[in-house]
Amino acid sequence: MAFLVTAALAGAASAALVFETKRKRHTRIKLAELAPPREDIRDLVSISADPVRQKMLALRSQITETLQTSDDDYQRFVRDKVDPVLMGGHSRNQQMSEFTGNSIRELTPKEKLGNRRMGLAIAGVSLYGLTATTGLPLLPAVVAIGIYNLWPWFKEAYDTAVEEKKLKIIHMLGLYFGCMWVGGFYLAGILGSLFAVICTKTHQLTQMTARTGLTNVFAQQPSRVWIEVDGVEVEIAFTDIKTGDILVLCSGQMVPVDGSITEGEAQIDQHRLTGESQPVEKTAGDTVLATSVIIGGKIKVRVEKAGSDTAAAQIASILQNTVNYDSDRMGSFLASTEYTLWPMLAGGALGWLLAGPVAGMAILGCNYVVGIVPLRMIALLNALNSGSQRGILVKEGKALETVKKLDVLVFDKTGTLTQELPHIVCIHACNEFSADEVLTLAATAEHRQTHPIALAILEAAQARGLETLPITDNAYEVGYGLRVKLEDGEILVGSQRYMGMEQITLPDSLQPVIERCRSEGQSLVYVARNGVLAGAVEMDATLRPETPEVIQWFKKIGIKVYIMSGDQESPTRKLAETLGVDGYFANVLPDGKAALIEKLQADGATVGFVGDGINDAVALRTADVSISFRSATNVASDNARIVLMDDNLKQLEVLFELAEGFNRSLEKNHRQAVTMSLVAAAGALVLPYKFLLVEGLWVVEFASGIGIATRPVVDSNQTTR
């Protein structure tokens, strides 16, 4: 029953293919019939009155609609049921769908044609089975299907010869398959056709994510904004913004343009764009960048660049220009076997001289190394599925092959080696206030804020069991800090500049702390009550707990580790010294990160880069292997070739062991293929049934290779450690 269903499904695919190739011609005929020349317009009445003609037109329309419906159903079946398996399992397919918002993938015309070719190949195998079991004369159809499916290979062999004027492995394969069909080895030929189609389709699917559209960095842009016109705030559509407009922005909003502040002051978090770990204070005359977020304050910004002219948009533009699509040509994934061409041609010539032309042609088929191409795909799918089960999404198969070759691994600092939330290092109390009192006052002021510093303060207060104080009017005055009114006074929380603006005196005892924090890159959040400084909360970036162990692991296996950051020199140097890495780069702009990656590559290193921000996206696309987190900015995770779904750096160790297992499988299959090729060539010289012998040993070798390719590449008990 399953056989009949397969044959029926393949038959539907075959019919759909016929429909696809003839649809335009049918459409032209139909249009010609429905719209005859002007001089024959009087015949339209007689045509429409002809019942036979009407029935033929109706039947044609019905057949066309049926074929289209059948093809659509078949394409959906392949996309929903077959492609997830070929892409590395349903687990990986589900992870991939997260990056497209679980939207349904639209098949390209090339994918649809490939699906039809696969259906035809299955139909060919089924027809051969019917011929063998019933004796029906179906072999001409089998030959037609096989040659049609292999025609792209023959065409590419011709194009390669004309364009490159070189003899390549694809020419030898074309010669071998041609001789196989002429020699009557139809089963081997149609199976070879099926393998060729599946190999091509699998290659396209594993590389498909390189072709997905890049995330729009302005996906969170507001639909409408407020601008100031003659002293009056007016709401307009964001798309109507022009250079020179004065944009009014408040706390919590994302800055949608590049510009300069004309009035006001604010604390701005721009770490996703610049890599700075701490919010920066901005006032009149300072510049602001699109995609940065206003933590506190209200500012007016003169628009200098909007839309595609902003720094963030320029990053997206650079990314579009640096996407390197892998070739879809068959020869592109046969390149690794080109070295076997001349030995096999020499062997075929020798076989012809020693045992005749049949032996010579058979020896051309003894190149089992070519069989590693589909085995490589099987091993890759096995590794991709294994990785997805361990929370590692490998979006491009080539990246997994490259992991084992890495010499240098470069880490972004903020958000990659460190966590999003900073942590409190120390609370420096002043003027007879206790540390708990300082933290309580800070938490009271920050309890409605959502920026990282506020969340870190609230978390620390909760851990100590502290409760916030009641606020009388729920009113906030936001500038360089917060002003919160209580029943018995007010709380001020903010920067040193804010304390100076409010004429809050800083005690001399705090000066050494201020100098130390400035040199080491820590930040201080000052807290005052009723005009008196209560203290300062010292904060620092929080290192991921697994970071030191992971860095040491890479040093142990001989991979050099560098830190690259858009943050200032002091905090970057401090982290580099703490972790004992091989080097660091600070104050690096987004295009500078990519340039540094290219410099390392120019020095002969294979470079991997781990990053999470918009400012990391160009470097991610430039590196030989790019890695990001699931929680990273969309631009970063979309451009990374590997995504750590659990947001844990320990997964990098599993990734490297996964790559080691995958390459071990490839090496073992290669050794076996070389050995079997020599055995088959010797047999073709001295034994009868030469083609059958070669194909029989090929089946044995391929079956054994599948066993190797599907073995676990990582210990089944291993998870993220």
Return the HEC string of 350-372.
Answer: HHHHHHCHHHHHHHHCCCHHHHH
* pLDDT the model gives residue 29: 41
pLDDT classification of 19: cutoffs 50, 70, 90: very low
Query: How confident is the model at residue 634, as a pLDDT?
Result: 64
DSSP class of residue 212 equals S
Q: Which pLDDT score is estimated for 30?
A: 42
Percentage, residues of the chain above pLDDT 90: 18
Residues 603/605/606/610 CA torsion (nearest 10 deg): -90
Q: Which residues are CB-neighbours of 255 under 8 A, at least 6 positions away?
A: 249, 268, 288, 289, 290, 291, 292, 293, 294, 301
Residues forming beta bridges with residue 607, ordered by sequence position: 408
Helices and strands (H, E) in the chain, number of each type = 26, 20
621-628: Cβ within 8 A, 24+ apart: 621/319, 621/322, 621/323, 621/594, 622/322, 622/594, 622/597, 622/598, 623/410, 623/597, 624/402, 624/405, 624/406, 625/399, 625/402, 625/403, 625/406, 626/399, 627/652, 627/655
The tokens of 43 are what?
């015949």
The distance of Cα 179 from the centroid of its chain, to the nearest Å, equals: 42
How many residues in the chain? 721
Instruction: Give the C-alpha distances (Å, rounded to integers) separating 277 from 164, 375, 385.
Output: 52, 46, 36
Q: Which pLDDT score, from 0 to 100, does residue 463 have?
A: 93
Q: Which residue has the higher pLDDT, 343 or 261?
A: 261
CB-CB neighbours of 374 under 10 Å: 21
The pLDDT of 176-181, averaged and rounded, is 74
Is the whole-model pTM more than 0.85?
no
Query: CA 125, CA 195: separation in Å to the nearest integer?
Result: 11
Q: 417: which residues sit within 8 A by CB, 6+ positions away?
A: 411, 543, 544, 547, 563, 575, 579, 649
Q: Tell me: pLDDT of 350 over 80.
A: no
Chain region(s) in the chain for CATH 3.40.1110.10: 423-540
Rg (CA), the chain: 34
Q: Where residue 354 falls among pLDDT bands split at 50, 70, 90?
A: confident
Long-range contacts of 459-467 (CB under 8 A, 24+ apart): 459/421, 460/423, 460/424, 464/436, 464/439, 466/436, 466/439, 466/440, 467/440
By C-alpha distance, which of 698, 615, 715 is closest to 292? 615
What confidence category does residue 441 fall into, taking pLDDT thresholds of 50, 70 and 90? Answer: very high
- Where does residue 318 rank: exposed (0-12), middle (13-18), buried (19+ CB within 10 A)? middle
- For residues 266 and 324, give the distance between their C-alpha atoms in angstroms, rounded to a whole number: 41
CA distance 249 to 251: 7
Helices 452-463, 435-446: inter-axial angle, 10-degree rounding: 130
Q: Give the per-residue pLDDT at 630.
A: 80
Mean pLDDT for the chain? Answer: 77
Query: Under 8 Å CB-to-CB from 393, ≥6 apart: which residues?
Result: 92, 95, 96, 387, 642, 643, 645
**Does 300 score more than 60 pLDDT?**
yes
pLDDT score at 372: 74
Which two tokens mark 8?
């029926």
The most confident of 15-29, 67-81, 190-204, 634-648, by mean pLDDT: 67-81
Q: Once rounded to an integer, what is the mean pLDDT over residues 586-602?
A: 88
User: Per-residue confidence at 33, pLDDT binned at 50, 70, 90?
Assistant: very low
Give dist(CA 6, CA 398) in Å, integer: 33
Topology, domain 392-419+543-645: Rossmann fold (3.40.50)
Q: In sequence order, what are the residues at sequence separation of 6 or more whose Cβ sits closer than 8 angstroms to the Cβ of residue 673?
A: 368, 369, 371, 372, 701, 705
46 token code pair: 């007689």
Helix (H, G, I), strand (E, B) or coil at 101: coil
> Under a CB-based contact definition with an 8 Å cutoff, are residues 295 and 449 in contact?
yes
- In the block, tokens 């790559």 appear at 659
Q: How confident is the model at residue 560 (pLDDT cuts 50, 70, 90)?
A: very high
Q: Give the closest residue to 415 by CA, choosing from 219, 573, 616, 253.
A: 616
pLDDT for position 228: 86
**Type of residue found at 309:** D
The label of the residue with tokens 């978390």 reads 459
Backbone φ and ψ for 150, nearest 5 degrees, come out as -90, -5
Burial profile 3-21: b = 16 or more Cβ within 10 angstroms, e = fewer: eeebbebbbbbbbbbebbe
Give dist(CA 96, CA 651) in Å, integer: 18
Distances (CA, A) of 254 to 68, 172, 258, 509, 628: 47, 60, 11, 38, 23
Tally Cβ neighbours within 10 Å of residue 500.
13
Question: Token pair for residue 6?
Answer: 């397969």
Range scoring the smallest mean pLDDT among 81-85, 234-238, 281-285, 307-311? 307-311
Least confidently predicted of 193-197, 361-365, 650-654: 361-365
In the chain, CATH 2.70.150.10 sits at 224-313
According to the model, what pLDDT value does residue 535 have?
95
Among 175-184, 225-234, 509-518, 627-636, the range with the most confident prediction by mean pLDDT is: 509-518
Judged against a pLDDT cut of 80, whether residue 134 lies above it is answered with yes
In the chain, residues under CATH classification 3.40.50.1000 are 392-419+543-645
What's the rounded Cα separation, in Å, for the pair 504 and 495? 11
**Cβ(596)–Cβ(588) under 8 Å?**
yes
What is the spatial distance between Cα 250 and Cα 261, in angstroms, rounded to a whole number? 12
224-313, which class in CATH? mainly beta
Confidence of residue 530 (pLDDT cuts 50, 70, 90): very high
Quote the CA–CA distance of 285 and 298 in Å, as a whole number. 14
CATH number of 423-540: 3.40.1110.10
**β-pair type (258-269, 625-629):** unpaired
Q: Is the pLDDT of residue 496 over 90?
A: no
In this predicted model, what pLDDT tens digit does every residue of 674-697 receive, in sequence order?
888 788 777 777 777 666 677 677
Residue closest to 429 by CA, chosen among 488, 497, 541, 509: 509
**HSE-up (13 A, CA, CB side) for residue 3:** 8
Percent of the chain topping pLDDT 70? 77
User: Looking at the predicted structure, is the pLDDT value of residue 249 above 80?
Assistant: yes
Between helices 169-182 and 341-355, what is the axis angle to 10°? 40
Q: Give the Å distances, CA to CA, from 77 to 81, 100, 115.
A: 6, 20, 10
- Does 217 have pLDDT greater than 50? no
Contact call for residues 86 and 374 (beta carbons, < 8 A): no
**Is residue 458 within 8 Å of 443, Cβ to Cβ?**
yes
For residue 574, the 8-state DSSP code is H
The one-character DSSP state at 307 is G
Asked if 218 and 312 touch (Cβ cutoff 8 Å), the reply is yes
Instruction: Please spell the DSSP secondary structure of 283-302, one letter per residue.
Output: ETT-EE-TT-EEEEEEEEEE
Residue 139 has pLDDT above 70, yes or no: yes
Q: Which helix or strand (DSSP H or E) is residue 393 part of? A: strand 392-394
Beta bridge partners of 224: 237
Beta strands 560-564; 583-585: pairing state: parallel
